Structure 1
Amino acid sequence: MHITWRDLAELAAYEDARVGRVFNHRRPRRYPRAVVKATSVEDIIAAVKLAKEQNCRVAVRSGGHSWAAWSVRDDSILIDLGNFKSWTVDAENRRAQVTPSVTGRELNGMLTTEHGLMFPGGHCPDVGLGGFLLQGGMGWNCRGWGWACERVKAVDVVTAEGEALHCNQEENQELYWAARGAGPGFPAIVTKYHLDLIKYPKDGFRSSGYLYPMSKYHEAFSWIVSITPEYDQDTEIVAVAQYVDGREEPCLFILFVTLKHTVEEAQTALAPAHESRPEGTFHEWVCQEDSLANQYIAQAKANPDGHRYAVDNAYINNDADLPKVLEEAFTTLPHRKAFTLWYAMNPCSRRELSDMALSVQSDHYLALYAVWEDEKDDTRCQGWVKGVMQRVQRHSVGAYLGDSDFQERQTRYWSESNGAQLREIRRKWDPTGRICGYLDKGDVSGVKGLANVHEWEAAPQL
């Protein structure tokens, strides 16, 4: 295995190993003792044992897409899995075995073209499966197909003691339970996911899009919220506030992506939206031929590399006055590259979840994405995210781990019982806190983990 030691390497080599694969260019001022570039399970075991000898913690990086750069921790051994990429596919049984650094685009690029299959991984093409699935996996058509982590049938791990284990419903069940929703607090290192695949809906992969001026915000948003609960369950529904070329003001973009197996099914699924839409769009398309490859291109454009990011999110109460609660988030973008996202979760949010750590959801998912390039805009863009979320969060039931920064805000990530169970599993499998866990303010959470409570509930009303 290749090791880059902070005290021995040239600065440029160390910096490349430390943050070269970190997607967010708002780089953290945290410095691992060493970075291990692993290419095998044996390398991972050796790195864990090295950390034990060095009496320091272990951090893990799969895709490097964590907004808060959870993998970069002071005085740790950072195990970088970027060169540990492999997969095998059993097409007949629709199963795959995949290492954590493989991205959704890499996996689906192979599955769709070679086997006519897919896995509902992350929307952003460069997100590694490791962090995405540990956090639950809000993947393609989550509202209809459920959480991606529910398609994880087993995981292979290396424990905090350096032991390789296979975990599923029958053996090492506690770790299997935690691997589906524990996020960066998972008390082991995943080395392989065993996944259930689905048939790729090539012929019926279609989309309809509607661009409204922000003056139509209340009417258009009320419409999309009203039709979602009964809408076709193979259709992903999203509303985005964004700037578009040629317009000075942000607009409201409402997108339907339907994943059917025939064109006729797609047309039937998308027709009710087109027939009921409010008037006033300045651009629209209906039942246009689409694909995962095209969607990845659009997602990469919305989430460009080489930029600075500040992100936060919330599950909004089911009975909230959504257009009113989200108005500030949708109408006050701080930068032309920033965007706000509402993702429809019903009916997934109304189903009983599998027996796993993931346990907080609602009908409405809100995410704020401030995206910019110049460091001088840090205060303004970060301040917008924090300020909007301070006012929105009292209408929420919690947040999704994947778009959270525990250094900035505390809220609920699990139900009370699941949070308590997860804390016990963490103490059992990593009693010394060898694996870094949750990066809270000051990086002090250690074995105890996160408080799992809304911080605003004890604060004075704004």
Structure 2
Amino acid sequence: MHIVWKDSVDAATYEEARVGRVFNHRRPERFPLAIVKATCEADIVATVKLAAERGCRVAVRSGGHSWAAWSVRDASILIDLGSYKTLEVDAERRTACASPSMTGRELNTVLIRDHQLMFPGGHCPDVGLGGFLLQGGMGWNCRNWGWACERVLAVDVVTAEGQLLHCNSSQNADLYWAARGAGPGFPGVVTKFHLSLNPYPKRGFRSSGYLYPVSLYRQAFQWILSISPTFDYDTEIAMISHYPEGENEIQIFILLVTMKAEVEEAEKALRPAQETRPVGTVSEWFCQEDSLDNQYNKQANANPEQHRYCTDNAYIENDADVPAVLEEAFTTLPHRKAFTLWYAMNPCSRRKLPDMALSLQSDHYFALYTVWEKEEDDHRCRAWVHKVMKSVERHSIGAYLGDSDFQVRRTKFWADDNARRLTEVRRRWDPLGRICGYLDAGDLSGTRGLDNAHEWKL
């Protein structure tokens, strides 16, 4: 087991271990006692027991894509799972067993190449399965296929006492319940996810795209809102506000990605959008050949490495005037690399969810991804996010854990009953707060957890 102790190595070695795999280059001023570079389950068990002996907390890093760097905590031992990679696939049963640091791209590269299967993991290719699935997993085609955590059949977990357990609907069921939506407050360390898989479309993906000037924001938004609830089951729908490369004006991009076995099926699925789109596009395409790998590349370009990030999000009330609520967010980006996202969630948002911690959703998911390079722009970019979200929260029912920073803003993340049950599960399995949990302002939440209440809502 390789351990980097803060007081026993040179500053450069420690700093690389502390934040080298943290995606957001707005580096936190928090300093773990040590970083363990785990390579197997035994390393994880040993680290949890070591933390207990030393009376300190344990933090976990899977992919390093947490915008708030939840894994970097004072007075803790950080278990970095980046070198712990394992994947087993049962193609006949359409299942896989994967370690938390496997990224969506790594997992799907093997599944598609070797088995013509896929898993609806994170859109950004380098997101690790661990944080993504624990917070629910808003993955590919979530509006129809449901949350990625619904495809978690079981989890293997190291408890706060260092015991390795298998958890499913009939065995250690409360931990299994919590593993699907607890996020960073999960009271243990997941070592393996047992997953149900999808067939990968024989002909790959197909997509249609419509780029509008910002002056047509309202018309474009009203159109996509009107067609998305009853649109094709295998089609993902999103609207993005961004600065296209080489352009000086914000433009509104509507993307429909369909996942069908045959080209004819894809054309039929995408045709209603093509026939009803508003006039005035800057550019467009219809039913273009696409692939998961191509979509990953586009996501990577939109989320560049070695940049500074500030994000926030909200589930907008179903009956809100969504274009009006989000107009400032979509038409006043603070930086050329920033972008704003609306993601269609209906019809998934209208069905009863399985019995799991994840319990909050609406027809409209909205997120800000503010991206910049220079520290001197920190205040301006962060202030813009704060200003927008102060207004948007008045029309929201809560937020998604994955794009949140509890140090800045707390809101609702679960249904009230689920939040209370989650607190009980956390206290039962980790009464001393050995696992770091939710990083709020001052890192004070401990076993109390989050309040699950709107902080700013008027």
* TM beyond 0.5: yes
Q: Give the match for residue 307 of structure 1.
A: 307
Q: Does 1:363 align with 2:363?
A: yes
Q: Distance in 2 between matches of 1:101 and 1:208?
A: 32
Q: Distance in 2 between matches of 1:93 and 1:437?
A: 34
Per-residue deviation, 1:173 = 0.1
Q: Does 1:383 align with 2:376?
A: no
Q: Give the match for residue 154 of structure 1.
A: 154
* 1:12-50 Cα deviation digits (max 9, x unpaired): 000000000000000000000000000011100110011
Q: Give the match for residue 446 of structure 1.
A: 446
Q: Which amino acid aligns with 2:227?
A: I
Q: Give the match for residue 434 of structure 2.
A: 434
- The gaps in structure 1 that reach 5 residues or longer are none
Q: Give the match for residue 107 of structure 2.
A: 107
Q: Distance in 2 between matches of 1:71 and 1:387?
A: 27
Counterpart secondary structure, 2:370: strand
Counterpart secondary structure, 1:21: coil
* 1:42-97 Cα deviation digits (max 9, x unpaired): 10011001111111000000000000000000010000000000100000010000
Counterpart secondary structure, 2:241: strand
Q: Give the match for residue 415 of structure 1.
A: 415
* 1:279-316 Cα deviation digits (max 9, x unpaired): 00011111000000000000000000110000000000
Q: Which amino acid aligns with 2:284?
A: E
Q: Which amino acid aligns with 2:277?
A: R
- Superposed, 1:129-168 pairs within 5 Å as 129-168=129-168
- Superposed, 1:64-83 pairs within 5 Å as 64-83=64-83
Per-residue deviation, 1:456 = 2.3
Q: Distance in 2 between matches of 1:175 and 1:53?
A: 24
Moved more, 245-254 or 177-186: 245-254
TM-score by length of 2: 0.99
Q: Which amino acid aligns with 2:34?
A: A
Per-residue deviation, 1:202 = 3.5
| Native 8 Å contact 2:204 2:291 kept in 1 | no
| Native 8 Å contact 1:204 1:263 kept in 2 | no
Counterpart secondary structure, 2:441: coil
Q: Which amino acid aligns with 2:425?
A: I
Q: Distance in 2 between matches of 1:444 and 1:94?
A: 42
Q: Give the match for residue 178 of structure 1.
A: 178
Q: Distance in 2 between matches of 1:302 and 1:357?
A: 30
| Native 8 Å contact 2:213 2:250 kept in 1 | yes
Q: Give the match for residue 400 of structure 1.
A: 400
- Superposed, 1:229-268 pairs within 5 Å as 229-268=229-268
* 1:321-360 Cα deviation digits (max 9, x unpaired): 0110000000000000000000000000001101000000
Q: Which amino acid aligns with 2:280?
A: G
Q: Distance in 2 between matches of 1:324 and 1:248?
A: 24
Q: Give the match for residue 296 of structure 2.
A: 296
Question: What is the root-mean-square deviation in Å for CA atoms of aligned residues?
Answer: 0.6
Q: Distance in 1 between matches of 2:106 and 2:305?
A: 17
Q: Distance in 1 between matches of 2:201 and 2:322?
A: 32
Q: Which amino acid aligns with 1:209?
A: G
Per-residue deviation, 1:204 = 5.1
| Native 8 Å contact 2:211 2:282 kept in 1 | yes
Q: Distance in 1 between matches of 2:244 and 2:456?
A: 35
| Native 8 Å contact 2:213 2:252 kept in 1 | yes
Q: Give the match for residue 13 of structure 2.
A: 13
Per-residue deviation, 1:246 = 2.7
Q: Give the match for residue 38 of structure 1.
A: 38
Q: Distance in 1 between matches of 2:245 and 2:199?
A: 36
Q: Give the match for residue 284 of structure 1.
A: 284
Q: Which amino acid aligns with 1:284?
A: E
Task: Provide runs of 4+ in structure 1 moved above 4 Å.
Answer: none
Q: Does 1:58 align with 2:58?
A: yes
Moved more, 39-48 or 196-205: 196-205
| Native 8 Å contact 1:204 1:264 kept in 2 | no
Per-residue deviation, 1:245 = 2.0
| Native 8 Å contact 2:158 2:188 kept in 1 | yes
Q: Distance in 2 between matches of 1:305 and 1:111?
A: 26
Q: Distance in 2 between matches of 1:40 and 1:319?
A: 48
* 1:208-251 Cα deviation digits (max 9, x unpaired): 00000000000010000011111111100000000012321110
Q: Distance in 2 between matches of 1:325 and 1:164?
A: 47
| Native 8 Å contact 1:401 1:413 kept in 2 | yes
Q: Which amino acid aligns with 1:246?
A: G
| Native 8 Å contact 1:206 1:258 kept in 2 | yes
Q: Using a 3 Å threshold, how does the CA distance of structure 1 residues 202 and 384 change in structure 2: closer, same or farther?
A: farther
Q: Which amino acid aligns with 1:7?
A: D
Q: Does 1:24 align with 2:21?
A: no
Q: Distance in 1 between matches of 2:328 and 2:201?
A: 37
Q: Distance in 2 between matches of 1:324 and 1:98?
A: 42
| Native 8 Å contact 1:104 1:128 kept in 2 | yes
Counterpart secondary structure, 1:455: coil
Q: Give the match for residue 334 of structure 1.
A: 334
Q: Distance in 1 between matches of 2:265 and 2:188?
A: 43
Q: Distance in 1 between matches of 2:54 and 2:19?
A: 22
Q: Sequence identity of aligned pairs in percent? A: 70
Matched positions, count: 458
Q: Distance in 2 between matches of 1:374 and 1:213?
A: 28
Q: Give the match for residue 193 of structure 2.
A: 193
Q: Which amino acid aligns with 2:399?
A: A
Q: Give the match for residue 323 of structure 1.
A: 323
Q: Distance in 2 between matches of 1:413 and 1:324?
A: 24
TM-score by length of 1: 0.99
Q: Distance in 2 between matches of 1:428 and 1:421?
A: 11
- Superposed, 1:208-223 pairs within 5 Å as 208-223=208-223
Counterpart secondary structure, 1:382: helix
Q: Which amino acid aligns with 1:439?
A: L
Per-residue deviation, 1:205 = 1.4
